[in-house]
A and B are shown apart, each in its own frame.
Chain A
Amino acid sequence: MSARDKILGRLRAHMPAEAMMPPVLEAHYAPRARGESKAERLRRFRTGIEGFQAQVHLTTEDDWPTLLSALCAQKQVHTLMFGGLTPAGRRLMTTRFETTVLRSWEGQVETLKADLFHRVDAALTHARGAIAETGSLILWSSPEEPRTLSLVPPLHFVLLDAATIHPTFFDALRYENWAAGLPTNALLVSGPSKTADIQQTLAYGAHGPKELIVLVINAEGEAS
């Protein structure tokens, strides 16, 4: 008998005859933070993620590329990488950056790995959404925006549409029905990487990005 069959056999021999009633998650979530306005969700998201040392800038659909270019100049970003096939990527292709070299992701990671680790100093990705309760960004990996893009470069810019902020993680995955089809890597990000492993002293810039900057568009008006 295989290890699998032996383990399952032992468990089956002692499994309760009847499974318990499935948990009802709404009972916990329903009374909390519902009917919040879009502005309130943005406010909570912002407080949360700023508490984790991320920077948040409110901008607009028209202006964000210019803001990004200014931030890159200010942070002395030499090379900015992004997914060239996303709508945001296409916008960037037509934006003038004074001091920063724009580079879109081309090909498989194997050909880019050394550059990603040593030469690219910032990346831009878009967020699928965010979570007000905890100040978290939702990133889904895709062929256009591979997962190393938000991980390896030391500075990470994220473009977020304020209309996509959910009250809680539960709301996001339930109402967008994530279970029906997840990407290879779905990710919540709340701030730049950090550690408190040395004498409980908080230090930012552990193994992932050292800085996280969120550009929020569509902050005005109510969500549709």
Chain B
Amino acid sequence: MLRIECPWCGVRNEDEFSYGGDAAVDRPSDEGSPDEWYDYVYTRNNSAGKHTEHWQHVNGCRAWVIVVRDTVTHKIYSTVPASPNLPTGKAGVDQT
């Protein structure tokens, strides 16, 4: 059971969140080439180690957060808001 510290709600169980995929991929602009758009959707690093990923606190405050998680140990290094515009008390939570 992962325990994710939502920047707004505090530490919550994984069941309250839904996984939203790799947060390290950059979404191309409308002028992006077909290859860039292909990579954005289909090409992923299958990294053993730190992985930056999106989660949504879907059964909570519904915020999307960026989690840095170790894919080998499941250790979570940090959880920060995905949106710079949503006000929080803190700038993100360091879970180290």
* A and B are interacting partners: no
Interface residues of B (CB under 8 A from A): none
